[in-house]
Amino acid sequence: MPIPDIRTHLPGPRAQQIIDRDTASVSPSYTRAYPFVMARGEGAVVEDVDGNRFLDCAAGIAVTSTGHCHPDVVQAITTQAGKFLHMSGTDFYYEDQVELAEQFGKLVPVGGAARAFFSNSGAEANEAAIKLARYHTKRQYIIAFLGGFHGRTMGALAMTASKAIQRKGFGPLMPGVYHAPYANCYRCPLGLKPESCSAECLGFIEDQLFVHLVSPDEVAAVMVEPIQGEGGYLVPPKVFLERLRVLTREHGILLIADEVQSGMGRSGKMFAIEHYGVQPDIVSVAKGIASGMPLGITASRADIMDWPPGAHASTFGGNPVSCAAALATIRLLRERLVANAADVGAHLMAGLKVMADRHPLIGDVRGKGLMIGIELVRDRQTKERAVEERNAVIQGAFRRGLLILGAGQNAIRLSPPLVLTKAEADIALRILDEALSEVEHR
């Protein structure tokens, strides 16, 4: 069957019925970009309850790394489900959890033998990272970055500085968190040029935070996204993470890499921080680790994960079905999908660069692998943010059968399943081209 294949008005009648029921019974705090009601999916193609078929370049917010319902992952899930669904790894043992810790420990770039703590989500993985950093260093303060998103639980929310609405009404948040500017070279906070960037924005930590607000010997960790996700799919220059690693080591501060969105092959390497040649002390992942099953992992060098029994735990973390899915996912990523992300991502990026030449709305195209951001502006000289236009492009793409999401104030994110083919990437490019033209012609 061809994709996309839109057979009804959107939403269709069955979808509208479900949306109406949702409105009456589900928390209004969820954000829904458009009225898509899923019925099934395979690979990078999804179908709604009215039989409309879409190309999925959202992947459940960068989660379905191996595509929808990859047969190897489904088989791993069903096999484990036929054995037992739960036996808490907090109190007991099961082999898949041990094997996953072993395999993940060999992959995670922390510069030595690693240990893993299992949870259920990215926010929980970051909560564990915060607690571990404080416990190990016996220090209390944490530094994060403006634009960063680390979760919505109370500790992770204190680190998050993506959108004010995510924090509004929940204060006071966890104390002891400071924020610094992130290296956004398209909108440099210091007004510098990318070609001469030496990550001068990090001077804010040394010259402002450490001078006026917090002593460096009281800072437990710096948490950073190697590629900022919700903040706009921002790719910092290599020198930013290199200098940050030097700075943290100089003061005995742990470096936490939040790879919840950028990890597990999405950037064309298993972990995005590998593009920078930097070894963090702690890494948090979730999203793509188990192809859609709930799982978070916080990993560190073994000497850092020195907390005793009872210091931190999770009843459901490392669920055996999720662990089985993760083991299948890792195998598929290593065998082909990380390389495919790099290959198809380069193809998609090249097409977007060409598209930018004929669409004045496109101010910047950036990304690595299949983690690509397109920033829309009303004027390329002033870089005025095209917020309404970005939203209109997303809606126009949906009507044409392409699922995409926003990131930051005015960027579009492309985060498809890592099984995306070049032919499917070309379909996404065609639809984006049409949606951009429609908005520009208005």
Instruction: For 108-238, list the strands marked E by DSSP.
Output: 114-119, 141-145, 177-180, 219-224
The answer on pLDDT for 195 being more than 80 is no
| Per-residue pLDDT tens digits for 360-405 | 999 999 999 999 999 999 999 999 999 999 999 999 999 999 999 9
Domain with CATH 3.90.1150.10 in the chain: 13-70+338-441
For the domain with range 87-318, which CATH number is right: 3.40.640.10, 3.20.20.80, 3.40.630.30, 3.30.559.10?
3.40.640.10
CA pair distance 270, 341, nearest whole angstrom: 10
Give the pLDDT mean for 66-75. Answer: 98
CB–CB of 418/340 below 8 Å? yes
**Residue 413's pLDDT band (cuts 50, 70, 90):** very high
**Residue 259's pLDDT band (cuts 50, 70, 90):** very high
Domain with CATH 3.40.640.10 in the chain: 87-318
CA pair distance 407, 435, nearest whole angstrom: 17
pLDDT at 194: 74
| Per-residue pLDDT tens digits for 95-136 | 999 999 999 999 999 999 999 999 999 999 999 999 999 999
CA pair distance 199, 183, nearest whole angstrom: 7
The answer on pLDDT for 415 being more than 90 is yes
The answer on pLDDT for 197 being more than 80 is no
The length of the chain, given as a count of residues = 442
The answer on pLDDT for 199 being more than 90 is no
Going by DSSP bridges, is the β-strand pair 254-258/282-285 parallel, antiparallel, or unpaired?
parallel
Phi-psi region of 432 (alpha: psi -120 to 50; beta: other; left: phi over 0): alpha
Give the pLDDT mean for 62-90. Answer: 97
The answer on pLDDT for 352 being more than 80 is yes
**Residue 192's pLDDT band (cuts 50, 70, 90):** confident
Superfamily covering domain 13-70+338-441: Aspartate Aminotransferase, domain 1 (3.90.1150.10)
The answer on pLDDT for 1 being more than 70 is no
Q: Phi and psi of 365, rounded to 5°? A: -125, 130
Q: Report the candidate in 111, 86, 87, 65 with the shortest Cα–Cα distance to residue 299.
A: 111
pTM of the predicted model over 0.85 = yes
Residue-wise burial string across 160-194, b where 16 or more C-beta atoms lie within 10 A, e elsewhere: bbbeeeeeeeeeeeeebbbbbbbbbbbeeeeeeee
The answer on pLDDT for 341 being more than 80 is yes
pLDDT at 227: 98
pLDDT at 303: 96
**Residue 196's pLDDT band (cuts 50, 70, 90):** low
Q: What is the CA radius of gyration of the chain?
A: 22
Q: Phi and psi of 152, rounded to 5°? A: -120, 0
